[in-house]
């Protein structure tokens, strides 16, 4: 900690983690995560594979007819299919709240502007679902940030209607937002008119071709996955919430990839044949088992190394942390062991997840294990998560067990070193 470079690194990372716009993006994605998970599970249920003689989909078809699958499809339409629209509202709302201005008005303006830019279907003047969903994420993020900043400036200017005291708060807020909203939507309309005049492509297609598609292609590579795993755990080692800090950057890249896998799986494609290896569930399921650092393996290593000393501090922390660790909640281990700023744990905590990223990537890319086709709550325990995210395939479970075994073996020598170091400090 006396090293000036490390102090500067912590300071910069802390500022990035608290940066207003990145926090709004992160919180915007967090807010809609329940809808994403429910939509994913709806698709998984509609396409659940037979388990030997047990065919859940076939049984449901026999009882209710094939019409029951409309339920899962409708859930998809109300969640993943409008992901961009939801994000446009959610990020604008959170950013406006951080400025202590009307979040609801900002969110509605952002959503309205998003709809204005979505291309229409040529025959019936409907909206193209492709751009309402994950393919429109970058436009949604840009719109939410830019329009909310403009809304803030206009609301704090003289271009507002002030209602007298005694008027209900909701009515007063709506009149305050009236002129700013009018100005913003007119500007968006002018922007749309200019784009239509100079190009046959919509702004969605331009951004997707120039920014989003290349980033998604890069994100699906092994080096990018290794970098994400490395940075996440490097930040955690210094006591910074790596998952939250990186979330606002990686989720716009990796959520569209799992969305495309899900769509293809829903259409009947095998989980082995869907295109994308690296997705958000890829990390959650095969790398972050027990939480960042694969700390469920660390606790297993502690129980293997320290069998006789029932009251040893490492064993006590592991015993108390194990119930939460099963559900991927590992702050008790990270701060109680501790792992934060513990030089003994630096190497395994950072490099074991990177190694598991490589192993998992190879397993999925070569077809040994099906790719991820579902998003689950991040608290889903290992084994169950490996089975579900691969579309109900035992090979997902096998990969998790293999990774946990490797991680446990690699943690053991460092646990032994930590035990010796702790014993020496106590003797001194």
Q: Which residues, in sequence order, are bridge partners of residue 161?
A: none
CA atoms of 115 and 131, how far apart (whole Å):
10
pLDDT score of 221? 93
pLDDT score of 1? 45
Q: Which structure tokens are listed for 148?
A: 């909310």
Residue 46 has pLDDT above 80, yes or no: no
In the 3-class helix/strand/coil scheme, how is the chain assigned residue by residue?
CCCHHHHHHHHHHHHHHHCHHHHHHHHHHHHHHHHHHHHHHHHHHHCCCCECCECHHHHHHHHHCHHHHHHHHHHHHCCHHHHHHHHHHHHHHHHHHHCCCCHHHHHHHHHHHHHHHCCECCCCCCECHHHHCHHHHHHHHHHHHHHHHHHHHHHCCCCCCCCCCCCCHHHHHHHHHHHHHHHHHHHHHHHHHHHHHHCCCCHHHHHHHHHHHHHHHHHCCHHHHHHHHHHHHHHHHCCCCHHHHHHHHHHHHHHHHHHHHHHHHHCCCCCCCCCCCCCHHHHHHHCCCCCCCCHHHHHHHHHHHCCCCCCCHHHHHHHHHHHHHHCCCCHHHHHHCCCCCCHHHHHHHHHHHHHHHHHHHHHHHCCCCCCCCCCCCCCCCCCHHHHHHCCCCHHHHHHHHHHHHHHHHHHHHHHHHHHHHHHHHHHC
pLDDT score of 53? 62
pLDDT score of 49? 63
pLDDT score of 51? 61
Q: Choose the weakest-confidence range: 172-181, 221-230, 337-346, 396-405.
A: 337-346
Q: Which structure tokens are listed for 73?
A: 């499809």
Residue listed under structure tokens 């084994």: 383
- Given CA atoms 219, 220, 223, 227 in this order, what sign does their dihedral have? positive
CA atoms of 213 and 257, how far apart (whole Å):
10
pLDDT > 70 in the chain, percent: 93
Mean pLDDT, residues 378-401 taken together:
92
Give pLDDT tens digits for 53-79.
666 767 777 777 777 778 878 888 888
Mean pLDDT, residues 228-255 taken together:
83
Residue listed under structure tokens 């691969």: 390
Residue 195 has pLDDT above 50, yes or no: yes
Contact 171, 163 (CB under 8 A): yes
Longest dimension (CA), the chain: 82
Nearest to 253 by CA among 360, 356, 142, 137: 137
Mean pLDDT, residues 154-183 taken together:
82
The number of residues in the chain equals 428
Query: Would you place residue 6 in the very low, low, confident or very high pLDDT band (cuts 50, 70, 90)?
Result: low
Q: Choose the weakest-confidence range: 40-54, 312-326, 395-409.
A: 40-54
**How does the average pLDDT of the chain come out, rounded?**
86
pLDDT score of 17? 67
Give pLDDT tens digits for 370-382.
999 988 888 889 9
pLDDT score of 236? 85
Question: What is the value of pTM for the model shown?
Answer: 0.77
């Amino acid at each position: 900690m006396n090293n000036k470079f490390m102090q500067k690194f912590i300071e910069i990372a802390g500022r990035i983690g608290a940066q207003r716009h990145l926090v709004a993006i992160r919180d915007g994605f967090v807010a809609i995560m329940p809808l994403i998970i429910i939509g994913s599970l709806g698709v998984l249920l509609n396409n659940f594979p037979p388990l030997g003689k047990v065919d859940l989909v076939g049984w449901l078809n026999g009882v209710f007819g094939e019409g029951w699958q409309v339920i899962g499809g409708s859930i998809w339409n109300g969640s993943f299919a409008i992901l961009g629209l939801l994000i446009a509202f959610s990020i604008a709302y959170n950013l406006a709240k951080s400025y202590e201005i009307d979040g609801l008005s900002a969110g509605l303006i952002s959503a309205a502007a998003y709809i204005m830019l979505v291309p229409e279907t040529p025959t019936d003047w409907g909206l193209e679902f492709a751009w309402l969903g994950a393919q429109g994420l970058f436009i949604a993020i840009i719109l939410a940030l830019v329009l909310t900043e403009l809304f803030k400036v206009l609301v704090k200017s003289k271009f507002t209607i002030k209602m007298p005291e005694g008027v209900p708060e909701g009515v007063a807020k709506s009149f305050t937002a009236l002129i700013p909203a009018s100005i913003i939507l007119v500007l968006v309309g002018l922007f749309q008119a200019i784009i239509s005049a100079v190009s046959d492509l919509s702004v969605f297609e331009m951004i997707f071709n120039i920014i989003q598609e290349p980033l998604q292609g890069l994100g699906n590579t092994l080096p990018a996955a290794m970098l994400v795993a490395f940075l996440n755990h490097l930040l955690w080692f210094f006591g910074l919430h790596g998952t939250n800090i990186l979330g606002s950057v990686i989720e716009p890249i990796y959520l569209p990839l799992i969305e495309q896998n899900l769509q293809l799986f829903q259409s009947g494609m095998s989980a082995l044949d869907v295109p994308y290896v690296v997705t958000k569930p890829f990390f959650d399921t095969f790398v972050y088992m027990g939480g960042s650092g694969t700390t469920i393996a660390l606790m297993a290593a502690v129980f293997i190394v320290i069998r006789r000393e029932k009251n040893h501090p490492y064993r006590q922390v592991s015993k108390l942390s194990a119930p939460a660790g099963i559900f991927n909640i590992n702050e008790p281990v990270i701060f109680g062991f501790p792992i934060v700023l513990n030089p003994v744990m630096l190497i395994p905590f950072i490099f074991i997840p990177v190694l598991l990223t490589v192993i998992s990537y190879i397993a999925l890319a070569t077809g040994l294990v099906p790719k991820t086709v579902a998003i689950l709550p991040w608290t889903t325990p290992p084994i169950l998560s490996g089975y579900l995210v691969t579309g109900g395939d035992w090979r997902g479970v096998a990969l998790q067990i293999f990774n946990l075994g490797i991680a446990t073996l690699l943690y053991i020598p460092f646990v032994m070193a930590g035990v010796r170091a702790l014993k020496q400090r106590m003797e001194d």
